[in-house]
Chain A
């Protein structure tokens, strides 16, 4: 074998990610952003450091309204995780694990609300699926976790979902946004079929199309289609929809709205 050490590797490649590495720690960001008041601080702390929040949420529900537990404890915790991700301190697994913990907390709060005859008002509702014929759904699952973390209600239809089932789910659930993911060039052709059927049903709903072989020119070719390059684009697009922007407007202002476009 050649003597690899004879080469000056700095002339060959540069670890740019290490050069720009953040010195801030999760503790720093937690201290910057966490609520001071208890029990919200402890709930937030548990979420940020990826621990089970069940005990803290149960205790909090004895004294506080479930809506407050969500809005003052759980959501601030996920906001901090979002900031840690944005700063390059946290990675995807931390977001997913925090999302798992938050999900358990939300479930307890929703049960408490149900016992009082109330239901939770989510930020918005999203119907998600992997295209008919496509068994690859890790992208959908990641996107779903990111949307859930932002407070959206997710109707997850799974993978290899027939076009008609998607249309039926949209009719039944009346979501703010529908999403489809595909890994293969020819399974993404289910997207325009979904869009066509929705049009025939008189439904106009933003339809995020994404996945491995999917590109913007394909998705923006059919009505309602909005392209997302990364799972992390989902919340920004849904936010724009909740602000009242139509799919045409989102396409028009795509570079300003969608983070990965920049």
Chain B
């Protein structure tokens, strides 16, 4: 499959929420057109602990989740409502019992009912859990204990065959190296894990997902580097946290863009996975629609870019919130409302011809709040994209180019006095830049060095990546 070697947009200024170069249409009723001129809302609610005890119980839980989201959307007059399910482990372990009827078929039927009755555009997205564990094996035939690679691919088939509109995953290839790198501030380990190994794993995974989706006429959406770059962001936290530096976390975000875009190179169409904060970078390169989350994911984590995340999104989402009762009803409804009103604001700005003004206000409010928000501000995301496509033919070199460009952007903004950095953030950035500049130009040499340096890590098995 061809890799991206040029940008979809001529200029960063072209990018705005609700519009993508390559819109994608799916769902029930009037249908959702991701990137087709309006932003759509995505609500995501996790079943309560214990709901997975029996398939029947899980079915009841999903029925309530789905209905309460759609009821709130209709109650408040929202024109679109997507429901996303991040499958719990038990669904991936036994998709026929726990996912097929309880979640996929039932939700599709309810989404269709609401579309028929009220004319609301509805859709269901299924995010399959990446159960795979590197120690056991990531590819078919390697894990003879849990058969996780086979179960993951089998789950996509079941979702596609039983009513899912969009398929997504937060795949975890390279996570074993990324975890090691995050804990030790070792950017080389992260680059090897995510930029290189993760990209190889994405090829393996997404070529299969795209085939399954095409065979069943459903949308292969996309991926995100949640298990690595989001882990770094989560651990870096806010101003009171001191676990890892936010400069390190920001560079990991740039690296992961090189990995995430492999899904689209393999034929996925977008919209990508909502917790992909690398969305602005990959959208700038590919022009495919992206779903984002920011302030409405505060139930799960603090991200220091609550508004900025909305700047160029096509779908706006919350983060998995537990299903429980609030004063106004079920949490599913309250999150549908919070997300829906944000979407209304964006779409009103579009109707008034003020969307680029709102985009800029969203962006400006968080631009200098953290290094990570700074590098995904759409103009900087575009610059990182440009650095990547120049090296588009090599997974290693393009992720490294993204990392170096992000580091340079942060350095420049800090030198200009605009982006404030703590002493620890500065020290870490300096070390990261030194480490990145010391890396070889040649991909084979880099891989050889990394295999020597990290080859003995207990969780790492090169065979998982065909090495």
Residues of A within 8 A of B (CB): 1-2, 4-5, 7, 9, 12-13, 15-18, 21, 85, 88, 91-93, 96-97, 100, 133-138, 141-142, 145, 158-160, 184-189, 212-213, 218
Contact = CB atoms under 8 A, between A and B. Distances in A.
B183 A134 contact: no
Interface string B228-248: 000100110001101111000
A213 B52 contact: no
11 contacts: A1-B360, A4-B368, A13-B366, A15-B239, A18-B422, A91-B242, A92-B243, A134-B89, A138-B235, A158-B135, A184-B88
B141 interface: no
Contacts of B300: 212-213
Interface of B: 13, 46-53, 88-90, 93, 129-133, 135, 146, 172, 179, 182-186, 227, 231, 234-235, 239-240, 242-245, 300, 320, 322, 357, 360-361, 363-369, 379, 418, 420-424, 428
A138 B88 contact: no
A2 B363 CA distance: 10
A130 to B, nearest CB: 10
Given A138-B182, A141-B179, A160-B146, A186 B322 contact: no
B235 A92 contact: yes
A6 to B, nearest CB: 9
A2 B88 CA distance: 43
Contacts of A159: 133
B277 to A, nearest CB: 17
B239 A17 contact: yes
Given A9-B368, A18-B420, A212-B234, 14 more contacts: A1-B360, A2-B364, A4-B364, A4-B367, A16-B240, A91-B244, A92-B235, A97-B184, A138-B182, A138-B231, A138-B235, A141-B179, A188-B49, A189-B50
A218 B184 CA distance: 31
A137 B172 CA distance: 12
Contacts of B48: 185
Give the 7 A-B residue pairs with the shortest CB-CB distance, closest first: A93-B185, A133-B89, A2-B360, A17-B239, A186-B88, A92-B243, A186-B52
B322 A185 contact: yes
Contacts of B51: 186
A77 B411 CA distance: 33
A93 B322 contact: no
A185 B49 contact: yes
Given A2-B357, A185-B46, A185-B48, A213 B367 contact: no
Contacts of B369: 13
A51 B366 CA distance: 38
Nearest to B301: A212
A15 B379 contact: no
A260 B50 CA distance: 27
A184 B244 contact: no
Contact of B90 (A133, A141, A218): A133
Contacts of A141: 179, 183
A91 to B, nearest CB: 5
Nearest to B12: A1
Contact of B424 (A5, A16, A91): A91
Contacts of B183: 92-93, 96, 138, 141-142, 145
B298 to A, nearest CB: 14
Contact of A15 (B235, B420, B424, B428): B420
A186 B51 CA distance: 8
Nearest to B89: A133
B322 to A, nearest CB: 6
Contacts of A133: 89-90, 93, 131
Given A184-B89, A186-B51, A135 B240 contact: no
Contacts of B365: 12
